[in-house]
Structure 1
Amino acid sequence: MNVATKKRKPAGDGEAVFDRELGDLPPELRWREWMGRIEAVLFASASPVGRDDLARVVGQGASVEMLIEDIQAELTGRPYELAHVAAGWMFRTRSQFADAIKAAADLGDQALAFTEMEMGVLCAIAYHQPIDRAGLKDIFGKEVSRDLLARLRFKDLIASGPRAPRSGAPHTFVTTETFLVTFDLQSLRDLPELELQSDGG
C-alpha cells in the first residue's frame, strides 16, 4: 500500500514530498534555505550528523562542505561553532566559554568526571583496541575491575569489540563515537602520539 510505496520510492514521486531542490527559488535564496536546513538539522541533533544525512535536505548538486563553510563563516565571533567531529558535524560551545558555562550551572560535570584509573583504562583501550581484560591486566599489572569497565560503558565511551583470539574467546573493548566527541577527535588517527621518550633529551 502507501507505506510500502513510500519505503521503496525515493523522494520525488509522492504528492507531499520533501522538496530538496527548491527549484522555484532564485539561487541566493535557495542557498540560504539550504544553509538554514543544515543548521536546523544540526541544532536538533545531540550527536554528530554525517554528510550523507545532511545531503538529504539539500539539492542534489549542492556541496554540503561549502554550505557548512558558509555557516562556519557566519558563526565567527559567536560563542558556539560548527565543528567536524567523529564522522560528522555538530554545534558546540567554544572552549573559552567553558568556565562561564560551569559558573552558571554544572552542566554535564558528573558525566565527564573521571578517576585517574578510569582515565588510564580509557586511554589503554583507545590506543590498544580491541583489547580484553587480560590485555588490560598486562598493561596495569593488576586486574581492571568489571565495575570500572561498566562505568565507562555506562558513559557510552566504550563498547564490546570482537572476541579475542585467546582460549574462551573473551570479549574485547573498543572506544565509541561518544569517546571521539567527548575528546574532540575526528577519528582515532587524531589521538596524540604516545611519547616513548622524554622531549628534553
Structure 2
Amino acid sequence: MTGAKPTLDTELSDFAPELRWREWMARVEAVIFASATPVANEDLARVVGQGVSVDLLIEDIQSELQLRPYELVAVAGGWMFRTRPQFADSIRSAADVSDQLLDLNDFEIAVLSAIAYHQPLTREGLKDIFGNEVSRDLISRLRQRDLITTGPRSPRAGAPYTYVTTAQFLVAFDLQSLRDLPDPEGLEDAGLR
C-alpha cells in the first residue's frame, strides 16, 4: 500500500516499564523538537500508550533539561523548545539572529497591542484609538511577521477587513492564550498605557 502511514507501536508491551517510559519521553521530545510550532497534548498522546499522562512525561523531560541552555515551555496551547532568556546575548553575538520583537518600533508595538486587546479590529477602529490613520504598510509588516491576520469582515458598510492576532503572536509574546495578556487597568496604573 503506497502512501500509507506506518503503524506505530504506542503500547510498547515488549519493553520493561522503565524503558517504556524513557521511550515515550524520547518520542514526545522528538515530536516537539521537530515541530516549528507549538505541539498540543492531544497530538503528543498519539505517540504514547493509551492512558499515559503526557503532562507527567513533559514534567520528566523538563526536569532533565534543567541544566541545559534550552527549556520546554507551554505556549499557545502547546509545547515548544525555547532557549533560556539568559543566553539571548550569547546567541545574538555568535549568530546573525534577529529577535522578531526587537525589530518592532514603539508604534508597531502599540498597534499590535491595540489589535490584541480589541480584536477583531478594523483600520478605522485603529484610527479611532490612535487619532490618525494606520498605514496599510504597517499592517502588512505585522502580517508578514505572522503576528496578525485578517479576521471576519466587519458588519459595517463596505464590510471592511478586521485584524486579529495569530498563534505566532502568542508564541512571540510567550502567552498560552489571549487571556494571559496583562490586565489593561494594571497597565494604566503602571503608566504603560
Category of TM-score, reference length = shorter chain:
over 0.9
Gaps (5+ residues) in structure 2? none
Answering whether residue 31 of structure 2 is matched by residue 32 of structure 1, we say: no
Partners of 2:76 and 2:190 lie apart in 1 by: 30
Structure 1 counterpart of 2:142: 152
Specify the code of the residue in structure 1 equivalent to 2:180. Answer: D
Partners of 1:77 and 1:182 lie apart in 2 by: 24
Report the CA distance shift for 1:177/1:55 in structure 2 as closer, same or farther (over 3 A): same
Structure 2 counterpart of 1:90: 80
1:106 is displaced (CA, Å) by 2.9
Answering whether residue 88 of structure 2 is matched by residue 109 of structure 1, we say: no
Structure 2 counterpart of 1:11: none
CA deviation string 1:47-93 (max 9, x = no partner): 11111111111111211111000101111121110000001000001
Answering whether residue 111 of structure 2 is matched by residue 121 of structure 1, we say: yes
Partners of 1:197 and 1:179 lie apart in 2 by: 22
Native 8 Å contact 2:92 2:98 kept in 1: no
Question: Larger radius of gyration, structure 1 or 2?
Answer: 1
Gaps (5+ residues) in structure 1? 8-15
Deviates more, 1:111-120 or 1:164-173: 111-120
Partners of 2:62 and 2:179 lie apart in 1 by: 24
Report the CA distance shift for 1:17/1:194 in structure 2 as closer, same or farther (over 3 A): same
Report the TM-score when normalising by structure 1.
0.89
Partners of 1:163 and 1:172 lie apart in 2 by: 6
Answering whether residue 162 of structure 2 is matched by residue 163 of structure 1, we say: no
Partners of 2:62 and 2:162 lie apart in 1 by: 39
CA deviation string 1:83-142 (max 9, x = no partner): 000010000011111111111123133675001211111000000000001100000101
Partners of 1:88 and 1:126 lie apart in 2 by: 20
**The residue matched to 1:56 in structure 2 has which SS?**
helix
Structure 2 counterpart of 1:45: 35
The alignment's C-alpha RMSD in Å is 1.9
Answering whether residue 183 of structure 2 is matched by residue 198 of structure 1, we say: no
